[in-house]
Amino acid sequence: MGQHEGKGRFITLEGGEGTGKSTQIRLLLARLECVGIMAHQTREPGGSADAERIRAFILEAGQSRFTPLTETLLFFAARNDHLETTIRPALNAGKWVVSDRFADSTRVYQGCMGTLDTTTLERLEELIIGETRPDLTLILDLPAEIGLARAIARRGAVAADGFEAESLAYHRGLRQCYLDLANREPDRCFIVDAAGNEQDVAERVWYIVSERLLAPDNGHPHG
Ligand code: TMP
């Protein structure tokens, strides 16, 4: 902790499709509001006007259209605009930011599940993200079968975008990549069991957020 001392806090939610990230973000924002913290909700790819345009372009093109580096650069181009126009101004103004996905998605989807090497990813992170690293990352974890079934149910008749139209084996791989990532950065990343009803999951999320970011010994004025 400490890099945003005196600034807002930066929380990211990660996980495969159908793990309930958007529901949990909504519930987390409501809990934060109850303790007097008005957080800014955002997402990746997207989160600013131009980044949303890049999002539409990437998702419409699907996964196989670009070379791995081009695809990664598009995610980072969106991220750069998101950071410059949304995330950093909010944090600098003392606001909390809660993002549905951030750079860990690139590590998992383009790196661990894709072909992009770690050195390139680290260099891009250094260049684009710099010091603006999340204070806390919650990884919503579900067995791949459940996540995939939820994602399909939610989608209904609407066709999957290229990133969702993957097999069960792919979703199992995604889950493992997130678990490995969490193991490598245990101070920042927390695995949340996303099975069961949404209120129970919200309790688990809130426990971690309040322990890590609101407890009296972490220097936050709300503690
Ligand atoms: P969403 O459906 O969670 O909004 O995300 C859109 C898709 O984009 C999702 O399948 C994950 C993928 N994605 C990447 O491949 N790399 C990234 O860096 C991000 C942010 C998302």
Nearest CA to ligand 1 atom 16: 106
All structural domains of the chain, each given as residue ranges with its CATH number in brackets, are: 10-218 (3.40.50.300)
pLDDT of 26: 98
Distance CA 123, CA 204 (A): 34
Say what the pLDDT of residue 4 is.
Answer: 43
Taking all residues of the chain, what is their mean pLDDT, rounded to a whole number?
90
CA dihedral 21, 25, 27, 29 (to 10 degrees): 180
* Residue to mutate (ligand 1; options 101, 140, 148; most atoms within 8 A of CB): 101
Q: What is the pLDDT of residues 3-43, one digit of tens each?
A: 444 579 999 999 998 899 999 999 999 999 999 999 999 99
Pair of tokens at residue 40: 């800014």
**pLDDT at residue 199 greater than cutoff 60:** yes
* Nearest residue (CA) to ligand 1, atom 8: 163
Nearest to 163 by CA among 153, 176, 174: 174
Task: Express each pLDDT in 69-98 by its tens digit.
Answer: 999 999 999 999 999 999 999 999 999 999
Residues in contact with 26: Cβ distance below 8 Å, sequence separation at least 6, in sequence order: 41
Q: For residue 58, count other CB atoms closer than 10 A to its CB.
A: 22
| Rounded mean pLDDT, 172-190 | 97
pLDDT for position 3? 45
* 211, pLDDT greater than 90: yes
- pLDDT computed for residue 1 by the predictor: 41
Mean pLDDT value across residues 36-59: 97
Of the candidates 74, 97, 50, the residue with the CA atom closest to the CA atom of residue 209: 97
10-14/136-141 β-pairing: parallel
| pTM score of the predicted model | 0.92
| pLDDT score at 18 | 87
Give residue 156 CA to ligand 1 midpoint distance, Å.
Answer: 19
Please state, in angstroms and rounded to a whole number, the distance separating the CA atoms of residues 42 and 97. 7
Structural tokens at position 170: 């792919």
Average pLDDT on 115-144 reads: 97
Whole-number Å distance, alpha carbon 6 to ligand 1 midpoint, is: 31
Kindly tell me if the per-residue pLDDT of 189 is higher than 50. yes
The pLDDT value recorded for residue 137 is: 98
Structure tokens given for 21: 């990230």
pLDDT digits (tens, 9 = 90+) for 60-72: 887 678 999 999 9
Q: What is the percent of the chain where pLDDT is above 90?
A: 76
Strand partners, 99: 12, 42
C-beta separation of 133 from 126 below 8 A: no
Distance 222 CA to ligand 1 centre (A): 33
Look at 155 and 103; give whichever has higher pLDDT: 103
